[in-house]
Amino acid sequence: MSAEIPNVRQVQGYCSLCIARCGTVATVTDGRFTRLDPDPTHPTGAAICAKGRAAPELVYHKDRLKRPLRRTRPKGDSDPGWEEISWDAALDQIAAAMRRIAEQHGPEAVAFSQSSPSTTAIADSAAFVVRLMNAFGTPNLVSALELCGWGRGFATRYVFGVGSVATGGAGGAMADIAESGCLILWGYNPSFTRITHATATVAGLKRGMKLIVIDPRNAGLANKADVWLRVRPGTDGALALGLANIMIERGWYDEAFVRTWSNGPLLVRSDTDRLLRTEDLVSGGSGQFVAWESESNRAVSYDPAAGRYEAPAALLARKLPARSGTPGPSLIMPGAGTSITPTARRRRGRWPCSML
Ligand code: SF4
């Protein structure tokens, strides 16, 4: 009996199962994809994760959806009555429904939905989904984040306008681990979720980079960290505020940037903890926010629409002058018996900082 020699091919490519896009070599045996290995000749091919290694299982799994299914029973029925239909039939049905909604209610009534580009294979198609949305005429996208770091990326985007990692159209910064002297991994285990960051971190450690890991679990690179801060789950906020407090007290921040680009200079009412508005000071005020100008010691307004203060940002005060012989940072509002303090002193956690 002679054994047939299998036809084995090795195909270079990359894993598209998440946005890390690790360089890979796929083995195809007799036309069947049988294994996926890292491609060390590729810049991101030092290693692949368990999901990448399981790629052949995903391709051939018996439960993998390969054709569109149409529901034949009403929503809520315990048996949806799925029936297989052709791609053409599915696309025609979806297009007709979208056109009907757009004609009746406008294209904005349609929201597109997609999984997280960071953790799923939609990464390579996400730009085409947005292009279709634009062509159709809706700005509405529901993008799931799953168990993912996008929440961290978008937090800084909403606080000071730029994502702490690249966040689509609003830009963002990808951590430059290769040039970092110290890296903080905060609730982030790249060994499981972004192999390229994990290998870059290990390379950084070899050249002397310091590593701080903040995680309740001794997970991933925590055992290689110079400092492993084992916070209790749910106490990250207190640690962040404590670190921000130290940074502010010691001046470890870009004061000019914060003064110009954050809400740090705005005054806060101590009785309501809300930002002071001009109508709190004078009747018929315009509702604009208020800061303190230190050169002529006066309140100045901030116009959020124009993004401008009534005075040059360089003159805005961090501390209010003492009043009525009372030392301290607060100012008593005229007639209200209410003290006000700059946002930066009351809401220290809002000063920007970023890490992975
Ligand atoms: S981290 Fe894993 S899933 Fe993501 S591209 Fe690399 S091998 Fe694929």
pLDDT for res 144: 77
Query: Using one digit for the tens of pLDDT, what is the confidence trace for 173-199?
Result: 677 888 899 999 988 888 887 788 898
The answer to whether domain 72-143 has CATH 3.40.50.740 is yes
- Which amino acid, 257? F
Q: Which of 48, 119, 191, 193 to mutate to test the pocket of ligand 1 (most atoms within 8 A of CB)?
A: 48
Cβ(286)–Cβ(304) below 8 Å: no
- Which amino acid, 330? S
What would the two tokens of residue 85 be?
Answer: 């239909």
Q: Which of 15, 53, 197 to mutate to test the pocket of ligand 1 (most atoms within 8 A of CB)?
A: 15
Query: Using one digit for the tens of pLDDT, what is the confidence trace for 5-41?
Result: 889 999 999 999 888 889 999 999 999 999 999 999 9
How many whole angstroms from 174 Cα to the centroid of ligand 1? 17
Task: Kindly give the residue spans of alpha helices, DSSP state H, lying in the chain.
Answer: 50-53, 55-60, 87-105, 126-136, 150-160, 190-193, 195-206, 236-249, 255-261, 278-281, 343-346
What would the two tokens of residue 147 be?
Answer: 């168990």
**Average of per-residue pLDDT across 291-314:** 87
Cα 263 to Cα 329: distance, rounded to the nearest angstrom: 17
Query: Using one digit for the tens of pLDDT, what is the confidence trace for 115-164?
Result: 887 778 888 888 899 999 999 999 999 887 766 666 767 777 776 677 76
Cα 33 to Cα 272: distance, rounded to the nearest angstrom: 64
**Average of per-residue pLDDT across 111-118:** 86
- The percent of residues in the chain predicted with pLDDT above 90, rounded, is 44
Cα 341 to Cα 181: distance, rounded to the nearest angstrom: 36
pLDDT at residue 94 tops 60: yes
Cβ(116)–Cβ(144) below 8 Å: yes
pTM surpassing 0.75? no
Name 51's Cβ contacts closer than 8 Å, sequence gap at least 6.
Answer: 17, 18
Cα 220 to Cα 67: distance, rounded to the nearest angstrom: 38
Residue nearest to atom 2 of ligand 1 (CA): 49
How many whole angstroms from 51 Cα to the centroid of ligand 1? 6
Q: Is the CB of 51 under 6 A from ligand 1?
A: yes
How many whole angstroms from 234 Cα to the centroid of ligand 1? 29
Q: What would the CATH number be for the domain defined by 8-60? A: 2.20.25.90
What does the domain layout of the chain look like in residue ranges? 8-60, 72-143, 146-174, 264-343
Q: Is the CB of 22 under 6 A from ligand 1?
A: yes
pLDDT at residue 52 tops 80: yes
pLDDT at residue 341 tops 80: no
Angle at 335 between CA 329 and CA 339, to 5 degrees: 20
Cα–Cα separations (whole angstroms), residue 261 to 56, 138, 170, 266, 304: 49, 31, 16, 11, 11
pLDDT for res 260: 80
Query: Residue 284 region, left (φ>0) first, then alpha (ψ -120 to 50), else beta?
Result: left
Report the 10 Å Cβ neighbour count for 119.
22
DSSP per residue, 301-354: EEETTTTEESS-GGGB-SSPPPBTTB-SS-EEPTTT--EEEEHHHH-GGGS---
- DSSP reduced 3-state for 331: strand
Instruction: Determine whether 76 is exposed, middle or buried from the number of CB atoms within 10 Å of its CB (0-12, 13-18, 19+).
Output: exposed
- DSSP reduced 3-state for 245: helix
pLDDT for res 173: 66
Cα 259 to Cα 313: distance, rounded to the nearest angstrom: 6
What would the two tokens of residue 148 be?
Answer: 């993912």
Q: Is the CB of 316 under 6 A from ligand 1?
A: no
Instruction: Determine whether 241 is exposed, middle or buried from the number of CB atoms within 10 Å of its CB (0-12, 13-18, 19+).
Output: middle
- DSSP reduced 3-state for 130: helix
